[in-house]
Amino acid sequence: MGARPVGAEDVFAPVRAVADAILYEGYLLYPYRRSSPKNRVRWQFGVLTPPEWTRARGPEDTGVAGSAEGWWQRTECLLHGAAEAAVCTVRFLQLQRRTVERHDSGRYRPVEVLDLGDRREIGFDEAVPREFSLRLPVRHGEETVFPLAVGSGLDAETVRDDQGRPAGRIVRERWPLSVKVRVSAEPAGSGPAGPLTRLRVRVENAARGIPAGMSRDEALRFSPLACHLLLAARGPSFVSLLEPPDWARAAVRSCRNVHTFPVLAGAAEDHELLLSSPILLYDHPRVAPESPGDLHDSGEIDEILSLRALTLTEAEKREARATDARAAAILDRVDTMPPEVFERLHGVLRPPEGAEGTGDAGDAGGPAETVVAGVRVGPGSRVRLRPRTHGTDPQDRFLAGRTALVEKVLVDVDDAVHLAVTVEDDPAAELDRWYGRYRYFAPDEVEPLPGVPE
């Protein structure tokens, strides 16, 4: 990673969690094993392939989608107010090929799998994060070019047996990357606080001499992966391209972003940070505070992936741990995840900005209760389920007439009351209660019953 001066403020600290999620999006997918088909075709976003290799494969794609591979990407954004410079951080991954070798008669020989008792190692493609911090001049009509280079590398880690003798080694190899960043600016009108400037940052793969006949796996060795930008401006502010003010709409329409798209980042009121991502986002994106860690698949739900990981057999988990250290970390985290964390993953009623009084009705103090047919119903109450015949989840109809135990009374952002229940004769009820997976019914969909659960 690019170094920052000791003690220097990291202006991008508020957005790094989201940026890191982008950096490793799709890095390794469930079931986190090399043998899984979905982990054989990787690196799907922000891939800048070598120019000659890319051109040999047909016309250039100049759309905004970052899943389309090209040898360059372009960010165009708007600065409002007088600006002389902006700060930019270019971030991407460098592919690192990990192979394993067995020590045999004084020599190391490549093998698919290296087994050493409890430890197993499998060859796999890893990645090394790279980061470059740049000060971008904002001078109209001029282009500034920043050449960036990442060197090659070859490292070997010896693996020893119980007696301390060499049993094998892990070899990690990296290939050089060459990148150019082109920066230019031009006037784009004016706004209430001063001039509007269109800032253009183009990031290119500058590799040369890469044969067009290479396979994709080979070309990726010379390609920045998951490439994205962080931009900061002090004094002037960035304009949202998703929800621009009326006075900026014409200037926004003139912005042309290719294989990436810039959104406002940081706190909701902040207009000084921008994240240009190959994955389309909304303004001010953030990682949900309930998420305990990265699962490398933001299109999925943490709860589902965590529960799926728990279903892996010991043999599957052993392969996943041998595949990659990040897979091992996911399994370690899931295996030790306490029930209260699973409950948070199941869902949170979060009020919109400025709203109050939503969430778990019991949070305000005392038992959470509501009145159904003149009877107080709260946690521990027994009810018979009477789901509506129309306008409800069809699966709820299968529970008609079943008895259930009320676990919580909840109030949503529209002040509607919901009963979170577990079905009494469901064999999985205890497990559902353990990690907070409930079924939800409105008060008029239940019939209060006397007594306590058996």
SS3 for 379-433 is: CCCEEEECCCCCCCCHHHHHHCCCEEEEEEEEECCCCCEEEEEEECCCCCHHHHH
Residue 207 lies in a domain: yes
Residue 189 lies in a domain: yes
Name, in order, each residue with C-beta under 8 angstroms of 363's C-beta and a sequence gap of 6 or more. none
Q: What is the DSSP letter of 314?
A: H
Structure confidence at residue 75 (pLDDT): 98
SS3 199: strand
My answer on whether 384 and 289 are in the same domain is no
My answer on whether 409 and 306 are in the same domain is no
Residue 353 lies in a domain: no
Question: Is the entire prediction scored with pTM above 0.85?
Answer: no
Residue 110 lies in a domain: yes
**Alpha-carbon radius of gyration of the chain:** 27
At which residue do the structure tokens 């135990």 appear? Answer: 405
CA–CA gap between residue 435 and residue 340 (Å, rounded): 7
My answer on whether 95 and 185 are in the same domain is yes
Buried b (16+ CB within 10 A) or exposed e, 77-88: bbbbbebeebbb
Q: What angle do CA 113, 337, 440 make, to 5 degrees?
A: 125
Supply φ then ψ for residue 158, to 5 degrees. Answer: -75, 135
What separation, in Å, do the N-terminal and C-terminal C-alpha atoms of the chain show?
A: 59
My answer on whether 327 and 379 are in the same domain is no
**Containing domain of residue 109, as a range?**
13-335
My answer on whether 309 and 213 are in the same domain is yes
Residue 342 lies in a domain: no
Domain stop point among 335, 350, 383: 335
Residue 300 lies in a domain: yes
My answer on whether 94 and 239 are in the same domain is yes
**CATH number reported for the structural domain that contains residue 434 in this entry:** 2.30.30.30
Q: Which is nearest to 279 in space by CA: 296, 266, 293, 295?
A: 296
My answer on whether 202 and 236 are in the same domain is yes
Which residues share a beta bridge with 146?
Answer: 181
Contact 73/259 with Cβ under 8 angstroms?
yes
Q: What total number of domains does the chain contain? A: 2
Count the Cβ atoms, other than its own, within 10 Å of residue 290.
Answer: 15
Domain stop point among 301, 335, 369: 335
Quote helix, strand, coil % in the chain, to nearest 5. 20, 35, 45
My answer on whether 322 and 434 are in the same domain is no
Pair of tokens at residue 169: 């080694």
Residue 395 lies in a domain: yes
**How many Cα neighbours within 13 Å face the side chain of 389?**
0
Q: What angle do CA 414, 416, 420 make, to 5 degrees?
A: 125
Contact 121/156 with Cβ under 8 angstroms?
no
CA–CA gap between residue 43 and residue 226 (Å, rounded): 7
At residue 240, what is the residue type?
S
My answer on whether 331 and 363 are in the same domain is no
Helix ranges (DSSP H) in 162-257: 216-219, 249-253
My answer on whether 213 and 301 are in the same domain is yes
Q: Which is nearest to 337 in space by CA: 289, 293, 287?
A: 293
Domain stop point among 303, 335, 367: 335
My answer on whether 254 and 315 are in the same domain is yes
My answer on whether 165 and 94 are in the same domain is yes
- Please report, in tens digits, the pLDDT of each residue of the chain (454 residues total): 443 433 456 899 999 999 999 999 989 888 888 988 888 889 999 999 999 999 999 888 999 988 889 999 999 999 999 888 899 999 999 999 999 999 998 899 999 999 887 788 999 999 999 999 999 999 999 999 999 999 999 999 999 888 888 999 999 999 999 999 999 999 999 999 899 999 999 999 999 999 999 999 999 999 999 999 999 998 899 999 999 999 999 999 999 999 999 999 999 889 999 999 999 999 999 887 777 777 787 666 677 778 888 888 999 999 999 999 998 998 888 888 887 777 777 666 554 444 443 444 434 333 478 999 999 999 999 999 999 877 667 788 889 999 999 999 988 767 788 999 999 989 888 888 877 788 999 999 999 998 654 4
Residue 348 lies in a domain: no
